[in-house]
Structure 1
Amino acid sequence: MKYIFICYPRCTTCKKAKDWLDKNNIEYDERNIKENNPSKSELKEWISKSGKPIKKFFNTSGTLYRELNVKDKLPNMNEDEQIELLSTDGMLVKRPILVGENTVLVGFKEDAWSSLGGKDGI
């Protein structure tokens, strides 16, 4: 199975994740989140598939998140409004994201990624 690896090439965490994927011979298509940010429909699908709350998809340590004061806005927004906001700029989205047929991983934690198969494929 080939995965979609959504990342920002200058992000050190994304670089670590990419190195891990390469080291473990996991096939993927790389997608630059800055140049090709996720659409509303992709985000809805990924959030649902991940089983995580939508707030886990926000890049809370990002400059844009702070500049837009998203932390204070989120409690007053419904899920559709939050997804709309995420879809406006890839830099608002936590990365990397690894998307597979039945898997969506947000952020890179090697133990979580390894638990999905490692060298034998996720």
Structure 2
Amino acid sequence: MTTLYGIPNCDTVKKAKKWLTQHNICYSFHDYRKDGLDEKLLHTFLEELSWMELLNKRSTSYRGLSQEQKDNLTQETAIALFIEFPTLIKRPLLISKNSALLGFKPQSYQTLFAL
């Protein structure tokens, strides 16, 4: 099962969805805002990636955090912030074949799906 996680209005998510569709890859899309994000789901992400890899420091949400929040980030505080602000997670997150890819790079997707 292949699942793409993100938010639908993200340009990079749109590119990933288009690539998957063009290459006839069956996938489901999990919209953090519509479908939710909880601690259990986050822990499945953390089995493949560290919280530091997941953290999108270039996001508007990250820039909106207080300096104290940024200075005191740990896995525990990051999980709470990811649940409150799902856009803190780099997008898209693709989980397939026991692998996780952050962001969208066509070459990485081609390698994962052996095209």
TM class by smaller structure: 0.7 to 0.9
Equivalent in the alignment of 1:78 = 74
Q: Tell whether 2:27 aligns with 1:31.
A: no
Equivalent in the alignment of 2:59 = 62
RMSD: 2.0
| Structure 1 residues 1-122: aligned runs within 5 Å | 2-49=1-48, 52-69=49-66, 73-119=69-115
- Cα displacement string for residues 7-42 of structure 1 (whole angstroms, at most 9, x for unaligned residues): 211111111100110111111111212223421121
CA–CA distance in structure 1, aligned partners of residues 6 and 57 of structure 2:
16
Moved over 4 A (4+): none
CA–CA distance in structure 2, aligned partners of residues 11 and 45 of structure 1:
22
CA–CA distance in structure 1, aligned partners of residues 10 and 64 of structure 2:
19
CA–CA distance in structure 2, aligned partners of residues 37 and 56 of structure 1:
20
Does structure 2 retain, via aligned residues, the 8 Å contact 1:37–1:89? no
For structure 1, the residue ranges without an aligned partner over 5 or more in a row are none
How many residues were matched structurally?
A: 115
**What SS class does the counterpart of residue 65 from structure 1 fall into?**
helix
CA–CA distance in structure 2, aligned partners of residues 64 and 74 of structure 1:
11
